[in-house]
Amino acid sequence: MRTADFDFELPPELIAQTPAVRRDESRLLVVHRDSGAIEHRGFRDLVKFLRKGDVLVLNNSRVIPAGLRGKNAKSGGGFTLLLVQENSPNDWWALLRPGKRARIGTEIILTREGKPTDIRATVLALNEEGHRRLQFSGTENIFRELDAIGEIPLPPYIQRKPGTQNPESARLDRERYQTVFAQPAGSVAAPTAGLHFTEALLDEIRALGVEVRFVTLHVGLGTFAPVKTETIAAHTMHEERYELSQETAEAIDAAKREGRRVVAVGTTTVRVLESVAEKYKGKLVSGPGETRIFIYPPREFKIVNALLTNFHLPCSTLLMLVSAFASPGEMRGREIVLAVYAEAVRERYRFFSYGDAMLMV
């Protein structure tokens, strides 16, 4: 399949720049895969599409304040840094801007609210993706400093006007670009389908007799990377780290044996479950791992029976995954999803991270 087959027109004003006033006040577009019927709902109506015995699986990875600012120790020129992957304490791959000025050997003094700190970063290497390897000094572990000096790394399509990045908006992003159930820290982007849930809604779901379970997949920058190859098959997928607990694996195994549904919240959750099932020939084996799984039509799903997700970027691997799920094992999922997206555009749904949600049952 060609990458261009997954393109669609999206009016820029439909890209959500701020979250809904309340997490669960976003809209919910429901797609019935068997009939093709579409329903326009509110997110709290999700409970009407869940039933006793379902296992609802969410990604509980916590977004780290991976955005840093600094100045060239020699010239005083400014840099923005985005931590991407930790190699060991104080040794990270990072995305730097402006990259051309971040030559190997460059020393950067990190700043906090424009004032220099004692922490420095030295550029050690450059990889094929354009990321710099940084060695931090002046701290035992830069990871422990992030809450004090780091910023939540918002996606590139959230572009607010100059002057709106005030302390109040930064505080709001720290709260709302994070799920209420976030625990292990490690993502540089939120598992956004989970942003709609409140503790009260999760309690209501549990009261229905739905099992709520968690996986962990630390979302990397690759989630925003467009597919640049002409054909899908030529694309190299980014690697992400995951953890599947024994409790979650056992709950899902029991549900599959008994014919109960597994409802995945987010494409990241799908990636964990289908990666493990693919690795172990349909079985779920608990433990950590890394995945480069690339899901696109046609694809059979071994674990997931229903999917809750946000609306994704054109030509993205996430849109391709959703297209595969729309009609498992067939090629027509792309047409189904693009038709649904066209309906979402007509109905003025909000797209991407802070946007509305879609449920495929």
Question: Can you give the pTM of this predicted structure?
Answer: 0.94
Q: Could you tell me how many residues make up the chain?
A: 361
Q: Residue 161: pLDDT band by 50, 70, 90 thresholds?
A: low
Give 3-state DSSP helix, strand, coil % of the chain, rounded to 5.
30, 30, 40
Tokens of 192: 């956004």
Strand arrangement, sheet containing 211-217: 38-42, 27-31, 357-360, 306-310, 262-265, 55-59, 211-217, 240-244, 287-291
Which position has the higher pLDDT, 162 or 344? 344
Rg (CA), the chain: 21
Q: How far apart are CA 270 and CA 170, in angstroms?
A: 30
- The partner residues of 107 in beta bridges, in order of sequence, read 122
- What's the average model confidence in pLDDT over 90-119? 96
Domains and CATH numbers, the chain: 3-63+179-360 (3.40.1780.10), 67-149 (2.40.10.240)
Instruction: Please report the sign of the dihedral spanned by the C-alpha atoms of residue 73, residue 79, residue 82, residue 85.
Output: negative
| pLDDT digits 0-9 by tens, 186-235 | 999 999 999 999 999 999 999 999 999 999 999 988 777 779 899 999 99
Task: Return the pLDDT at 23.
Answer: 97
Does residue 165 register a pLDDT over 70? no
Q: Does residue 10 surpass a pLDDT of 50?
A: yes
Which structure tokens are listed for 52? 């006793």
pLDDT at 163 > cutoff 60: no
The answer to whether the Cα torsion of 171, 136, 184, 276 is positive or negative is positive
pLDDT of residue 83: 96
Question: What is the pLDDT at residue 162?
Answer: 43
CA distance 361 to 50: 10
Are 301 and 262 a contacting pair, CB within 8 Å? no
